[in-house]
Structure 1
């Protein structure tokens, strides 16, 4: 960060100023958020205090999607829980959804009333109708873990 000489990361106003002037520079955003969290820790602030301040910061800038990875990276670095303002990346949601679909269903745990009958006359579902019953990605919550 070029302005590191005067930016100490002590106050939210300093961080707001850096972020507001960073444009598309995600590295600057990441560095500012990481420094802000580190300074809070250095001052002995509780994890709850840090979480609350970070949530305020994320809420202010959640509309700038290109910055989402910077906030997620900073949280991951300090092992903070996921944000309620910054969703998981769509690729992570898609991978989680796919992994759930790839696991075979244990038919032993399915009640007999829900098992497909042996006779096709009862209208067992076709693969295309199975696809229609799957939720769309945008309908899934981002925290699937």
Structure 2
């Protein structure tokens, strides 16, 4: 059995609360529904302390999944943490999705790692993108990525 530090849950709770606030704001702004209203939360205490948060946001264009991995280094919770966003979006099959993919790649250039999932033959009108980056709460980066990627794919760009 592993001992858990008394401040561990408080630190995770505070960071998750700030992250939750940002997720709620971007969900409201982009007419996305947070599945269950709260994230799935998993705590790991060995070999290192970390908390995993997962949000599923649904909207007219599809699904946005946001995974946050909070780490503890040298007994201190880091200000920034690893985030993975998965976009599973539908779009008009007549649209030039290759051109939209190029615009997204230009937008994301140097911002982190991104991967396109190629849908099986016959699945037109559907695109999947996975984006990984280091996130610092309060920077509005999550909202900017959602706004830009949804806007490019759907053609409905919202003002910043």
TM-score bin (small chain): under 0.3
Q: Which is strand-richer, 1 or 2?
A: 2
Normalising by the residue count of structure 2, what TM-score does the alignment of the two structures yield?
0.23
From the CA coordinates, give the structure whose radius of gyration is larger. 1
